[in-house]
Every structure is written in C-alpha cells, then in structure tokens.
Amino acid sequence: MAYVRSVVGREWEVGELGGLVASAEGRALVLRGEPGVGKTALLDVAAAQAAGLGQRVVRAAGVEAEAGLAFAGLHQLLHPLLADAGALDPATRAAFDIVFGRSTGEPPSVMVLGIAVLDLLALASGDVPLLLVVDDAHWLDPQSAEVARFIARRLSGHAVRMAVGVRADTPSPWDGSGLPELTVHPLSAEASARLLDTSSPGLPEPARRRLLDQARGNPLALLELPAAVDGSADRPELPLSRRLERLYGDRIAGLDRAERAELLRAALDGTGAAALPGRARYPLRAVDGAVAHGLLTTDADTGDLVFRHPLVRSALLQSATPNERRAAHADLARLHRRELERHATHLAAATVDPDESVAVVLERAARSATARGGSAAALTLLTRAAELSPTAAQRSRRLGEAAFVAAQSALLDQAHELREASDRLAGTGRSPTAVITYAYTALYEDGDVRSAHRRVAAELQALPPDTDEEIRARLLNLLLAISVFSADPALWRVSDALMDRDADRVGGPTPLYRDAWGDVARRGAGARERVLAAFGELGDGQPWDVMRLGVAAYYLDALAEHRMLVRRVADRETGSGAVTNAMTLQQLVMLDQISSGEWDAAEETGRRGLALTVAHGYRLFEYQYHGFLGLLAAWRGDADTARAASATSPNSPRPPARPSA
C-alpha cells in the first residue's frame, strides 16, 4: 500500500487511522501536534486509506485569514455534499440556505444547524461510507468550530468518520472537547535518520549530525533544513517553527517584487482553501519562481496551487512591509466588494488616514455582524471605524456604540474602557454612554436597582431636546428594564412620567415595552397584537431587539408564536455573541419550557443559564436563575431543593418571578 510507505516512522499512527477508517460505527479522532510534525501527511494517509476501501472523502481546512468570517469552514466542508440536500425536508434545507447566503432570515442555532448537518451526512453516506478530513482546525471560524464539534460528538450510528488536525501550540475550540485524541510526537532518532537519508542522501557527516540535532524529530524540518546546510538557518535560540519561517522568508526574498505581491495577496485571502459558493478566491498567477523555490505545491485533488505549509503564509506576512500589506488588502477589498463584512475587513486594513466613507462601511458591517451572532467581530469593526472617523464627534459616537455592544456581550470591563475613550473625545465627564455603562454594571453585577434607576432617570431629565433619538431610546429602554427588576411603584411612576414626556421623541418599540412590561391592566389594550406585528417586522434585527420583544411577548402570553426564534437566538448568542441578552433569552426559553410541561428540559436550560451568569459574574441574573430553579423544584414537590434555592441570596433583593428585560 503506497500510502503507508509514504510516511516514515509512523507505523503506529497509521494503524490508529486505519482503525478509525475501518471502524464499524461512526466516530471522530483529533490529531494534535506541533507545526511540521506531520499531521497533514497523516490526514493524507487516512484519506488514501478511506479511498482504498471505496469510501467517499470530503476535506476542508481552516485558514487564518478567514477565522473571522462566520461559517467559512462549514461552507468548505458541506459544499461537496449539497447535491444531496434536495432530498432533505424544507426546514433543514432552509438552515443551509441561510448560512450559505442563499436566503435571508434568522441564522439557525448551533443545535439546529448541527442536526441539519447530521441529516445531510446521513443522507450522503447512505450508500457509501464517508470520511470527513479537517486540517488546521485551530483556524476554523468560531461558528464552524462549534458546529463541527457538535457533529463530531454525534457520529455514532452514522457511516461517517471524522479526522481533525490541530496544532498543539495554538489555543483552539478543540481544546478540552472531550473527543478521542492522537498525539503526533516527533519522530524517533532512527526514523529521523531514515527520513533525512532518504530525502537528502550524501550529506557530509558533520552536517548530517547537526541537522538531526536541530530538527529534533520534526519531519518538515528534516525535509527543509538541508537546503540551508550552509548554516544560514542556524538560530538555536529560536523555536523550530520560527527557524523554518526564517528559511521560507529567505526563499521569499529571492523572488521578484511582483511575485512576492502575488503571494501576499493569496496569503491574506486564504488561497488554498476551497472556494465558497458565491465567494471569490484570489487566483494565483505568474508564480513559477515560488513553485521552483518550494513555496507552493499542487493540490492533488483540485490541481490548484497551494502553499506548501501554513508557515509559508506566516513568513510572507512577517516579511512584507506595512505598505505592501496595505496594498494587498486594497486589492482584496476590491475583489470582495460584494461581500460586506469581508470587504470591510480588508478595507479597514488598507486605510491609514481618517476617511468617513470607510468608517461608514465598517459601521454597516458591524451591524451585519451582530445580526449574525458575531458581536466580537462587531466590536473590532466599530473600534476601527472610530479610529478612521475624521471628527472627534464621530469617533466618540462610534466608540459609544462599541461600548454598548460590549455591554450587551458581557464585556463590561471593555465597555468601561470604550466609554471612557468616548467621553474624553466628547469632552465630558458624564455622557449618556457613561450612564448606560454604569447602570449595566450596577444592575447586572451588583443588583443595585435603585442606584441604576436614579442615574438613568437623572440623565434622561437632563437630556437636551435635540439628543440623538437612538441614545434617548436606549436610556428609556434601560430605565424600563430597571423598573421591572425593582417591582417598585414609586420607581415606575418616575419611569412613566419620563416616557410620557418623551413619547413624541422616540419611535420604534420603546412605547410598546412600557405598555407590556409595566402596568398591563392599564396600558396593555392591543399590546399583544402590537408585539406580534413588531416580530413580523423584525427581519435581521439585533439580538437585543429579539430579547426585548421576547420579554414583552412572554408577559402578554404571545411567546408561543415565536418560541423557535427566541430559542435560536438564545443558542446563537451564548457563544460569541451578545451574551448578556442570551442570559435573558435562556430565561424565556426556560419559562416557556415550564409552561409547555417540558420540565426536564427547563431544568437543563436553567442550569446552563446559571453557569453562564456565574462565569460572567452577573449576580442579578444568578439570583433569578436560582429563583426559577427553586420554583421548578417546588412544583415538582422537591421542598429541600426549593428551600435551598430561596436561601441562596438571603441578604439580596429577591428576583422578580419574571424574565429580565
């Protein structure tokens, strides 16, 4: 078998992979090792073994340049299988259409999308077993990594196996995944000598001994370091991966300027990974020198030119000047002008001086990112938009917007830093953004409803009439939410008075929130119909819009019509999205499950929500979850657990028996 003989000193690893490929049941295996240790070669072995057994092989690879693009890795993995998707039910096909950009709508949760992927895999492997191979999985975007881990744990019962390669020196979502692992160690001394003698025969003995000592059993080093046998790569104080980068950097320096620029554009665009539906990939042209220098090779499956190793990409980025990188990003921004977030990312990296037109694009891309569950990406885009804003007022406003997104994402320390920067630019010590950030901290971390209410009400009373409508609406929405937590008629009277005063200054759903969250008996006439209408107009709404409307729907007994949307957004935002909103959305899910008689599921949801709030130090939500879990225990007749839950915070205000707003 040629594929077994193609690697040296890996007999045991090849046997383990053979066991994976030939296993009676579906399962996954994670290969973990240092750069250059041979993970890709072993994944090639697994692919060849599967093909030799008549199995179908589908491959994907994480690309550092695409780690911030949602679902890029999943697109690679599923694209070859989508011909089978026509046999799936409409709801499952719809999940793929949304994440592939074929239709608009609320993105599916990890669970919904993961189940859809499992259905597709089951269909694709119905006649022929399937092997999924994912290389460089440490660079998968977070959304794809979540789905990949979900399916990897649930392959039992399917004719699907999965082999995943990750770096040992790079943190990734695969760390602590609980999946079986195969650690790829350096080669033994005997195997190292055999590989070196086979690939570089006739070396002088002193050089041979030095190379074996420097390579330390790393196969890539054994193959590449002989090219620097003159000692140009000798830097024993550097890690081996850095020395290999320097070796590739020397080869890159030997190319002409045009070819280096071509390679740089390809490195920044993820060339070498599969092209995605509707998404262009930078095509390499006129790179014969790079091929001759061993920087590029030909992909055996597609015939496309690809980088010999990810360290070549790293070397290109390290060796390029800032002006060269900016020029490459500008070319890629033009190439991807139809893809908002990708275009904005490259445009931001290509721009040096303040430019309002670029800042506007970044702000639009940030809004798109939050609607897709990418609040972390939105923070980066908004911060860069502020840096590129020509005026202090625009910089302050965009930093204030970033502070708001950070607060919604349970990043209160970062929210404070952004707010302080915004205030310095505005020349004020107490901006509306500062009050909002303070109130979120006082409310969520300390449960101090009175102080938070007092500060927000005072800020609203002091606002000039021409204040931006969105800022006024945010303050009013926050004041109403604090009033819900307080359950204090006196505080509600203050909130109602400010709402009455500002009714003609704010649009959107803010008046609806007051009517639904407050005194429903007095103000709730027609509110249920208004909530349902607002949901119908939501479209690609921000997660905080879904959360607030969901709370209103719960109060008005209208949540059942939109429970799937609320559950999807709750799952979506729990990971890398608006985590603060996810905490409330999970409460809604739990209460809806209790009402529907799904008590086991409600308890599981409550415990997940409690763990999330404890992890972020949100004491107010922590008390609420204890209260809801205690209520559930009481209904089940478990008096001891109910009493323990009620005694969790004896010196703190009791949480209201309703979800937070």
Mean pLDDT of 21-27: 92
The predicted structure's pLDDT at residue 656:
40
| 474 in the same domain as 570 | no
Mean pLDDT of 604-632: 86
Do residues 144 and 10 touch, judged by C-beta distance below 8 A?
Answer: no
Answer yes or no: is pLDDT of 172 > 60: yes
| 177 in the same domain as 53 | yes
The predicted structure's pLDDT at residue 121:
92
599 within some domain: yes
Q: Strands, E, within 385-495: which ranges? A: none
Task: Give the residue among 568, 549, 569 at the shortest CA–CA distance from 559.
Answer: 549
Answer yes or no: is pLDDT of 102 > 80: no
What is the domain-level CATH number for residue 355? 1.25.40.10
CA 537 to chain centroid: 27
The predicted structure's pLDDT at residue 237:
46
| Listed residues 454, 478, 507: the one ending a domain | 507
513 within some domain: no
Answer yes or no: is pLDDT of 621 > 60: yes
Please give the backbone phi and psi of residue 188, each rounded to the nearest 5 degrees, phi first.
-70, 165
Do residues 305 and 292 touch, judged by C-beta distance below 8 A?
Answer: no
Do residues 88 and 123 touch, judged by C-beta distance below 8 A?
Answer: yes
pTM: 0.64
Which range, of 110-119, 376-385, 530-539, 574-583, averages the lowest pLDDT? 574-583
Q: Which long-range contacts (CB under 8 A, 24 or more apart) does 610-613 make?
A: 612/574, 612/579, 612/582, 612/583, 612/586, 613/583
CA-to-CA distance for 501 and 169, rounded, in angstroms? Answer: 58
| 464 in the same domain as 397 | no
| 440 in the same domain as 420 | no
46 within some domain: yes
| 20 in the same domain as 164 | yes
CA-to-CA distance for 171 and 154, rounded, in angstroms? Answer: 23
| 552 in the same domain as 487 | no
CA-to-CA distance for 37 and 7, rounded, in angstroms? Answer: 11
Rg of the chain over all Cα atoms, to the nearest angstrom? 28
Paired with 332 in beta bridges are: none
The predicted structure's pLDDT at residue 577:
57
Do residues 141 and 67 touch, judged by C-beta distance below 8 A?
Answer: yes
- At 180, list the tokens: 């079986």
- Please report which helix (H) or strand (E) contains residue 101, including its range: none
Confidence of residue 429 (pLDDT cuts 50, 70, 90): low
The predicted structure's pLDDT at residue 285:
87
214 within some domain: no
Decide: helix, strand or coil at residue 210. Answer: helix
| Listed residues 153, 168, 183: the one ending a domain | 183
| 18 in the same domain as 122 | yes
The predicted structure's pLDDT at residue 491:
92
The predicted structure's pLDDT at residue 576:
52
pLDDT digits (tens, 9 = 90+) for 534-546: 887 775 457 778 8
pLDDT digits (tens, 9 = 90+) for 463-482: 888 888 888 888 998 899 89
Query: Which position has the higher pLDDT, 46 or 305?
Result: 46
Please give the backbone phi and psi of residue 164, each rounded to the nearest 5 degrees, phi first.
-125, 130
The predicted structure's pLDDT at residue 257:
93
Do residues 181 and 32 touch, judged by C-beta distance below 8 A?
Answer: yes
CA-to-CA distance for 595 and 404, rounded, in angstroms? Answer: 33
- Alpha helices by DSSP H, listed for 136-239, are 142-152, 189-199, 205-215, 219-224
Please give the backbone phi and psi of residue 647, each rounded to the nearest 5 degrees, phi first.
-95, 5
The predicted structure's pLDDT at residue 455:
87
578 within some domain: yes
Domain count, the chain: 5
Decide: helix, strand or coil at residue 135. Answer: strand
| 70 in the same domain as 168 | yes
| 93 in the same domain as 44 | yes
Query: Which position has the higher pLDDT, 181 or 660?
Result: 181
CA-to-CA distance for 257 and 253, rounded, in angstroms? Answer: 9
Do residues 432 and 451 touch, judged by C-beta distance below 8 A?
Answer: no
What is the domain-level CATH number for residue 61? 3.40.50.300
Helices 356-371 and 392-408: angle between axes, nearest 10 degrees: 10
Which range, of 489-503, 511-525, 639-653, averages the lowest pLDDT? 639-653
Cβ neighbours for 606, distance < 8 A, ≥ 6 positions apart: 586, 590, 625, 628, 629, 632
217 within some domain: no
- At 240, list the tokens: 């081996």
| 401 in the same domain as 289 | no
Mean pLDDT of 246-274: 85
| Listed residues 480, 507, 534: the one ending a domain | 507
Q: Which domain holds residue 334?
A: 329-429
| 568 in the same domain as 448 | no
Answer yes or no: is pLDDT of 272 > 70: no
Mean pLDDT of 643-653: 63
How high does pLDDT run on average in the chain? Answer: 83
pLDDT digits (tens, 9 = 90+) for 106-162: 666 777 788 889 999 999 998 899 999 999 999 898 888 888 998 999 998 899 999
Percent of the chain whose predicted confidence (pLDDT) is above 90: 27
Angle at 454 between CA 452 and CA 459, to 5 degrees: 100
Mean pLDDT of 293-320: 83
Mean pLDDT of 220-238: 66
Cβ neighbours for 315, distance < 8 A, ≥ 6 positions apart: 245, 246, 248, 249, 252
Task: Give the residue among 116, 134, 109 at the shortest CA–CA distance from 58.
Answer: 134
Side chain identity, residue 248: Y
CA-to-CA distance for 461 and 62, rounded, in angstroms? Answer: 52
Confidence of residue 343 (pLDDT cuts 50, 70, 90): very high
pLDDT digits (tens, 9 = 90+) for 276-304: 545 566 788 889 999 998 888 887 767 78
The predicted structure's pLDDT at residue 389:
93
Paired with 28 in beta bridges are: 162
Query: Which position has the higher pLDDT, 273 or 84?
Result: 84
Decide: helix, strand or coil at residue 132. Answer: strand
* Residue position matching structure tokens 């005026």: 391
Strand duo 181-183 + 130-135: pairing: unpaired
| 281 in the same domain as 396 | no
The predicted structure's pLDDT at residue 652:
39
Mean pLDDT of 159-170: 93
The predicted structure's pLDDT at residue 649:
53
Percent of the chain whose predicted confidence (pLDDT) is above 70: 89
Find the Cα–Cα–Cα–Cα dihedral 478, 482, 487, 493, rounded to 10°: -60
Q: Is the dihedral of CA 183, 49, 178, 66 positive or negative?
A: positive
CA-to-CA distance for 56 and 131, rounded, in angstroms? Answer: 6
The predicted structure's pLDDT at residue 95:
77
Angle at 326 between CA 402 and CA 142, to 5 degrees: 50
Which range, of 19-33, 219-233, 314-328, 339-353, averages the lowest pLDDT? 219-233
515 within some domain: no
195 within some domain: no
Q: Cβ–Cβ contacts within 10 Å for residue 238, how many?
A: 13
CA-to-CA distance for 28 and 164, rounded, in angstroms? Answer: 8
CA-to-CA distance for 337 and 345, rounded, in angstroms? Answer: 11
Q: How far apart are the first and last CA of the chain?
A: 63
Mean pLDDT of 588-599: 87
